[in-house]
Amino acid sequence: MKLLVGSLNDDCIILPFWQKEENAPDFKYKNFDLRALQASKDFKGNEGEVLFIYPEKGPKRLLLLGLGKKEEITPERYRRAYAAATKAANSKKIKTLTLIDYNKAIAEGIALANYAFDTYKTDKRSLVEAIAFLKAGPKILAEFEQVFTVFEGVYAARNMINLNADDMSPTHLAAFAEKLSAPHIKVYIHDKIWLKKKGLNLLLAVGKGSHIDPLLIVIEYRGDVKSKENTMVVGKGVTYDTGGLNLKTEMGDMKCDMAGAAAALGLIVAAKGVKLKKNITVIIPTTENAISSTSYKQGDVYTSYLGKTIEIDNTDAEGRLILADALAWGNKEYKPTCIIDIATLTGGVVVAFAEEVTGLMSNNEAFSKKIQEASERTFERVWPLPLYDEFKDLLKSDIADIKNCGNKGASSIKGGIFLKEFIGETPWVHLDIAGTAYLDAEKRYLPKGATGVGVRLLMDFLENE
């Protein structure tokens, strides 16, 4: 996004108005006298209400934008209103929006809505390319710059998820990661031979059915070499999930099963862009869960990296398997201060929270609280689910230490309980984004398909930690 100095002769000036109880808003701004419109009551200033008018003098268009009631305004309401303005501008192919009001949420609202996935479309949709400011100091400009830089990470995540599964295989994810290399960003791609040598047998098992080899991608982002703090982010990278031999009946959206990996990579794009002074270690176990004569089988037992044996109760509960090996290996190798894993893990979280809220599970109250605070600030909302020890009974196995799926009920919690076995005492948060990562239909400022959820949440957590 280009940031420009605006003028009263610009293409499209956004004029925000509060909704008033009695009379219509006070429609007067600079030389623009809009009292006739006021009399007509055609525009009330409701949240997200948009009206274009075409004055004889001055700008080509005025975009009147309703903000709702002044006393009810929140950052989220700003986001929604300015997202509505951005969508309206995109429908008119407007390339530059001129602002007279500025705050971080306004920048976020514009950025959230200003996205289209057109890689496979012949006719590309029009997007806003520049923001012009009628009056803005360096602090405002820096804030907008920061927001749009973070959104490079969000868009990167959305694009990775929306691409064909064959255009975003484990090999492609690795290539994307490698491009992030810099003097302070080291990237390692560990192949099948390395996985065998180290004993990441669960990741190898899930990958058995695919002609594409599984990989473990590691990124060491070192923004603050003086600090010993190190946040480990583990993202699930199943680039297509058929369910394996426990074949899914519906798999139209299953290219999105690497949304956790995309969020982790998007986080590094954003951190690199804003030169975040934090240490992050990203670990991505990535594979396809494919169906073939070589696929891993229900009823078989595999030994995890940590040594615990796992009975495969359902080949479609593959995410927790690859995460278990990645979490255990990363925890031992890097001894991080805290661990966040992010994964499209269970359909159960969609039953509980639809596409609105990410399921959060944790072994540490204080750490969990910090993630919840970041979620309130970004409106990438999370809600905690309990990991009581009693739930462990659901994963009891007669032939191995633990099952990967087990008895009916509490499907999201079972995922969390399983992963907890591989964490030890390190403060940890598990984010189940199966509902929030990929939408069936456009919603508010979020597009249909990939949302890029997680990038803003984790950036906000790291920035405010």
Q: Which residues are catalytic?
A: 248, 320
Pick the closer one to Zn ion by CB: 318 or 421: 318
Beta strands in 263-387 (DSSP E): 279-289, 301-303, 309-311, 338-343, 358-362, 382-384
Q: Are 161 and 153 in contact (CB under 8 A)?
A: no
Q: How far is the CB of 380 from Zn ion (least distance, A)?
A: 23
- Shorter beta-carbon distance to Zn ion: residue 241 or 288: 241
| Signed CA dihedral, 460, 461, 462, 465: sign only | positive
Of 152 and 241, CB closest to Zn ion: 241
Q: Which residue is nearest to Zn ion (CB)?
A: 316
Q: Which of 47, 152, 241, 432 binds Zn ion (CB under 5 A)?
A: 241
- CB nearer Zn ion, residue 150 or residue 345: 345
Stretch that binds Zn ion, among 127-135, 192-200, 236-244, 324-332 (CB under 5 A): 236-244
Binding residues for Zn ion, how many (CB under 5 A)?
3
Rg of the chain (C-alpha set): 24
Stretch that binds Zn ion, among 25-33, 238-246, 277-285, 387-395 (CB under 5 A): 238-246
Q: Shortest distance, CB of residue 404 to Zn ion, whole angstroms?
A: 10
Tally of CB atoms within 10 A around 165: 17
Least Å from the CB of residue 345 to Zn ion:
8
Piece of the chain touching Zn ion by CB under 5 A; list 54-62, 78-86, 309-317, 337-345: 309-317
Looking at residue 214, the DSSP 8-state letter turns out to be P
Q: Determine which residue in the list 288, 311, 313, 316 makes contact with Zn ion, applying CB under 5 A.
A: 316
CB of 316 to Zn ion, least distance (A): 4
Question: In this complex, which beta carbon is closest to Zn ion, that of residue 241 or of residue 313?
Answer: 241
Min separation Cβ 202 and Zn ion, Å: 13
Q: Which residue reads 């405002």 in tokens?
A: 140
Tokens of 128: 């806003």
Q: Check: CB of residue 229 under 8 Å from CB of residue 278.
A: yes
Min dist CB 137 to Zn ion, Å, is 50
Strands 237-241 and 231-235 come out as unpaired
Asked if 432 touches Zn ion (CB under 5 A), the answer is no
CA–CA separation, 374 vs 361, rounded Å? 15
In 2-102, which ranges are E strands? 2-5, 12-19, 28-29, 32-33, 50-53, 61-69, 96-99
Contact region with Zn ion (CB under 5 A), list: 74-82, 317-325, 338-346, 444-452: 317-325
Q: What is the DSSP string of 389-435?
A: GGGGGGG--SSSSEESS-SSS-HHHHHHHHHHTTTTTS-EEEEE-TT
Distances, alpha carbon 311 to alpha carbons 89, 388, 396, in Å: 54, 22, 9
Alpha-carbon span 88 to 85, nearest angstrom:
5
Pick between residue 241 and residue 421 the one whose CB is nearest to Zn ion: 241
Q: Which is nearer to Zn ion, 13 or 323 (CB)?
A: 323
Beta carbons within 10 angstroms of residue 156's beta carbon: 22
The distance of closest approach from Cβ of residue 312 to Zn ion in the complex, given in angstroms and rounded to an integer, is 12
Of the candidate spans 179-187, 209-217, 314-322, 399-407, the one that interacts with Zn ion by CB under 5 A turns out to be: 314-322
Q: Which part of the chain contacts Zn ion (CB under 5 A), choosing from 60-68, 227-235, 312-320, 449-457? A: 312-320
Nearest approach, Cβ of residue 242 and Zn ion (Å): 8
Report how far residue 114's alpha carbon sits from residue 447's, in angstroms, rounded to the nearest whole number: 9
Q: At what angle do helices 138-162 and 455-464 cross, to 10 degrees?
A: 140
> Residue 351 and residue 152: Cα distance in Å, rounded?
31
Q: Which is nearer to Zn ion, 236 or 278 (CB)?
A: 236
Report the C-alpha gap between 124 and 136 in whole angstroms: 32
Spatial distance between the Cα atoms of 222 and 220, rounded to a whole number of angstroms: 6
Interface contacts to Zn ion, rule CB under 5 A:
241, 316, 318
